[in-house]
Structure formats: structure tokens, C-alpha cells
Amino acid sequence: MYEPAPLRDGNDGRVREVFAHEATIVMEEPGDVRAPGAAVTLALCGSWEHEPPCPLAPHHTSADRRGDRLHVRVLFATAPEAEDDVRRRIDAALARGTLEGPDGTTTRWRLVHTAPTHLTAEEQPHAERLRHA
């Protein structure tokens, strides 16, 4: 179902830039707030467990719940020409709206909003780590 991207590590001579992507989803309790991030990892890496670096784009996903809304941010580092592909994969993973975790529990959500966004000042140190991952 998920296709891993070709491997490109930080030492391949390609210039990586760091990008940010945000989404808002509706997830009722007791949904696992980690599920959307896991869905993104599957879309970008093909598996939850793999040796570093991430095949297509080293990334980090955070989620902040406010009521039934989950605000998701994905930071990712990739070659500029791969940015659109990475964003499409993120959007598709979040739009799927469901993920069965390794324990067999299924979490469901509904995507409300997704868009490119800017890195915050607080994210800059993490962005640099991703750039060199």
C-alpha cells in the first residue's frame, strides 16, 4: 500500500532545504494523536521502522490537541525539486483519515485544512538537524 521513496542521505551532494506544512484535523476522543504523524511517516518512508535517514525527507511531526481539533505541523528537509512531491504525500496521508496502529487499534479523523507554512523561530534548531540528517 505504501511505497518508500528512493534513498537520499544528507551526504549525497544534494542541497536540502527545510519546509513546514500544517494541517487541522477533527479527531474525537479517544483518538491517538500520534496516528496522523505515523500516517505521514508511512507515506514518506514506507515503514514506521527503518534505519536512518528517512528515504525521501527527514521529517518531524508534532500535534497539538484543542478540543476535537488537532493541529498538526510537519517539518521536512528535502531537495527543492522534491518539495511538491513531499507535500502531496503528506496531504494524501492526512486526507486518508484513518490509520491502524501496530496494536491493531484504528484511529480515524477528518482533514479540515492543510497548507504550506513558514518555519517558526523556535523550529530553526530542529530544522538544521533535519537538514543534515
What per-residue string of b and e applies to 34-45 under the rule 16 or more CB within 10 Å gives b?
Answer: ebbbbbbbbbbb
The predicted pLDDT at position 7 comes to: 36
Does 26 map to a domain?
A: yes
Place of cell 528537509: 77
Residue 8 lies in a domain: no
What domain range includes position 68?
17-131
Q: What angle (nearest 5°) sits at the alpha carbon of residue 120, between those of residues 98 and 117?
A: 50
H or E element at residue 85: helix 83-96
Domain count, the chain: 1
Which residues are within 8 A (CB) of 73 and not within 5 positions of it... i.e. 6 or more apart?
Answer: 20, 21, 22, 61, 62, 63, 117
Q: Is residue 84 part of a domain?
A: yes
Separation CA 31–CA 49 (nearest Å): 22
For 53-66, what is each residue's pLDDT tens digit?
888 899 999 999 99
What CATH code is carried by the domain that includes residue 58?
A: 3.30.70.260
Grid coordinates standing for 65?
Answer: 490537541
Residue 11 included in any domain: no
**Is 2 a domain residue?**
no
26, pLDDT greater than 60: yes
Higher pLDDT, 2 or 42: 42
- pTM, rounded to two decimals: 0.88
CA atoms within 13 Å, Cβ hemisphere of 121: 0
Residue 48 has pLDDT above 90, yes or no: no
Instruction: Kindly report which listed range (9-23, 30-44, 54-68, 75-89) carries the lowest average pLDDT score.
Output: 9-23
